[in-house]
Amino acid sequence: MVLAKNGLPEKNVWLIIKRTVEPDPVYFYYISNAPVSSKLPTFVWLSGLRWAIEKCFEETKSELGMDHCEVRKHGGWNHHILTCMMAHFFLWHIKIRLGKKAPSITLSQLRILLEVVMPLRQKDIRSAIELVRWIQNKNHRAYLSHRKKRLENSSLIL
């Protein structure tokens, strides 16, 4: 189909219509920007993955803390999302691999098990002080950087 903008044709897109197989079907409509040269079986398979991706986002938000993201930079956001997705993949892999024997395990229960299997490194006072100094230096550099940007922006206004 052709999308229109301001009453004029803009670009060719795929219109995907999906329905349930119930006696009173429910219809869902999606638009895709896949190339026209896409093979139909591949296109249908990929369009079906949308549900799996949405389900993954939903579960990682509620179960794995993806919605608790308070990062300032794109790199930190990517790291947070990737960590949540990997945790989700790990839990699903356990469920698939164990089948009916799979325990109904939650994130907090998984954390307890992982703390036993992979204990955190114990710090002595010297390494704890070095870590605190490193964090303070990093925070101070961030403060100076933000202050510099604020001063530059305020000088542009004047």
For 13-157, strand residue ranges (E) read 14-19, 27-32
Q: What is the per-residue pLDDT across 83-106, written as a single tens digit (0 to 9) for each?
A: 777 878 887 787 788 777 776 766
Among candidate residues 75, 106, 100, 73, the one with its CA nearest the CA of residue 88? 106
| Main-chain dihedrals φ then ψ at residue 148, nearest 5 degrees | -60, -45
Whole-model pTM?
Answer: 0.41
CA torsion 69-71-74-76 (nearest 10°) is -90
- Over the range 10-44, which residues count as b (16 or more CB within 10 Å of their CB) and which as e? eeeeeebeeeeeeeeeeeeeeeeeeeeeeeeeeee
Q: Are 95 and 105 in contact (CB under 8 A)?
A: no
Among candidate residues 114, 47, 57, the one with its CA nearest the CA of residue 84? 57
Q: What is the per-residue pLDDT across 117-144, written as a single tens digit (0 to 9) for each?
A: 776 677 788 988 898 898 899 888 888 8
Both tokens of 143, joined, read 């403060």
Q: What is the per-residue pLDDT across 38-71, written as a single tens digit (0 to 9) for each?
A: 888 887 787 777 777 787 777 777 666 667 666 6
**pLDDT attached to residue 111:** 66
